[in-house]
Amino acid sequence: MVKALVTGGTGFLGAHIVRMLVESGHEVRVLRRASSRIELIADLPVEHVLGDVTDADSVRKALEGCDWVFHTAAVADYWRAQRTKMYQVNVDGTRNVLEAARIAGVKRVVFTSSAAAIGLRADSKPSDESVPFNLPPERFPYGHSKFLAEREVMKAVQAGLPVVTLNPSVIFGPGDLNLISGSLIVEPARGLVPPFYPAGAVTAIDVRDVAAAHLVAAERGASGERYILGAWDVAYRELFVLICQIVGAKAPKLPLPKALATPLSALINALSRFGLKLPVDGNQVWLSARRMLFDSSKARATLGAPQVSLRQSLEDTYHWYVQRGLIAQKTHL
């Protein structure tokens, strides 16, 4: 049994990690803000420490006596968040956690980065861990913030701190309280189906497989290494069709040509600057025209293969929202 701190432990991924740690017999401490929603872990026997990763003193206090730290706290909803806040949490917050871990002498840090911190190949084939971040920061500030956070990780590793970096692709599954990927299910279930499907594709994975990989990484991941976590490569057209089948909605039938993504993105961003509130961010549109595909073979060989299918993940996500009254269950079309 070890004592583990989970930053972001009340959130989507963090809560699943907390639950798996408890089920594995470990002692768990959660660093959270006073305003954090705790319903995902309210039934678990864990210690709560109030603080914030941007507050170095509270991080040091939370890490006292811990063997492991899982640093999952981050601002991921870049289309809603202020960029300054996102960089403060994702970069400065990571630096605080790493420094506190060094002071506390922890045996292992598992840092939750993102596949967003990895670049795209010119030939559109899946990228592996060796491809450097190469998207315009102004287009993808979230990916850029995670790229900068990984620089902090490498500095800490070079100074002797044992850190394993995990790079999850798009995460689906039950428990997405803040509607990050979950909005792709909730909105169609509420009748908000876009008229077009994007031309691009993504690699994705279920949250439970991501959480399980974190525990394995703490035990046998190699310090200084990064591991891409992915389970399925799926075109947006296929994804929208499957989601709409599950929630009982009509899927979009018209493609949004890649050539139109850039001008449409510019138009959406211009309208947003004039104060018009739109259901989509221009940079999301720009990214959705690209094949954001990643090679997870390294993680599969070291951490194990994902177990949850795409359909099962989406169905479980849908039913989780239905059970909580966030969407009404419909008769399938």
Mean pLDDT within 70-85: 85
Give the per-residue pLDDT at 26: 98
Sort 56 into a burial class: Cβ within 10 Å, 0-12 / 13-18 / 19+: middle
Chain center to CA of 151: 18
Give me the domain span that covers residue 79.
3-173+203-232+294-300
Give the per-residue pLDDT at 333: 45
Give the per-residue pLDDT at 153: 98
Range scoring the smallest mean pLDDT among 71-85, 132-146, 296-310: 71-85
In a domain, 267, yes or no: no
Q: Where are the alpha helices (DSSP H) in the chain?
A: 12-23, 56-63, 83-87, 93-104, 141-158, 183-189, 207-220, 236-247, 258-273, 282-288, 297-303, 310-323
Q: How many domains does the chain divide into? A: 1
In a domain, 309, yes or no: no
DSSP result, 171-217: EESTT-TT-SSTHHHHHHHTT---SEEES-EEEEEEHHHHHHHHHHH
In a domain, 94, yes or no: yes
In a domain, 101, yes or no: yes
DSSP result, 213-260: HHHHHHHHPPTT-EEEE--EEEEHHHHHHHHHHHHT-PPP-EEE-HHH
Chain center to CA of 143: 11
Q: Could you tell me which residues are beta bridge partners of residue 172?
A: 206
Mean pLDDT within 249-260: 85
Q: Which of 87, 142, 197, 321 is catalytic?
A: 142
Give the per-residue pLDDT at 263: 83
In a domain, 306, yes or no: no
Q: What radius of gyration do the chain's Cα atoms show?
A: 19
Give the per-residue pLDDT at 288: 80
Give the per-residue pLDDT at 138: 86
Which of these, 246, 225, 173, lies nearest to 204 by C-alpha position?
A: 173
In a domain, 314, yes or no: no
Give the per-residue pLDDT at 275: 66
Cα separation, 281 vs 278, in Å, equals 7
In a domain, 250, yes or no: no
Cα separation, 212 vs 45, in Å, equals 19
Chain center to CA of 275: 28
In a domain, 308, yes or no: no
Reported as a single tens digit per residue, the pLDDT across 8-19 is: 999 999 999 999
Reported as a single tens digit per residue, the pLDDT across 42-77 is: 999 999 999 999 999 999 999 999 999 999 999 987
- Determine whether 318 is an active site residue: no
Instruction: Give the pLDDT band of residue 257 (cuts 50, 70, 90).
Output: confident
Looking at the predicted structure, is the pLDDT value of residue 218 above 80? Answer: yes
Stronger pLDDT, 123 or 279, i.e. the higher one: 123
Average pLDDT, the chain: 92
CATH of the domain at 118: 3.40.50.720
Give the per-residue pLDDT at 81: 67
Which of these, 138, 29, 44, 117, lies nearest to 74 by C-alpha position?
A: 117
Mean pLDDT within 93-97: 98
Question: In this prediction, what percent of the chain has a pLDDT beyond 90?
Answer: 78
Q: Could you tell me which residues are beta bridge partners of residue 198?
A: 256
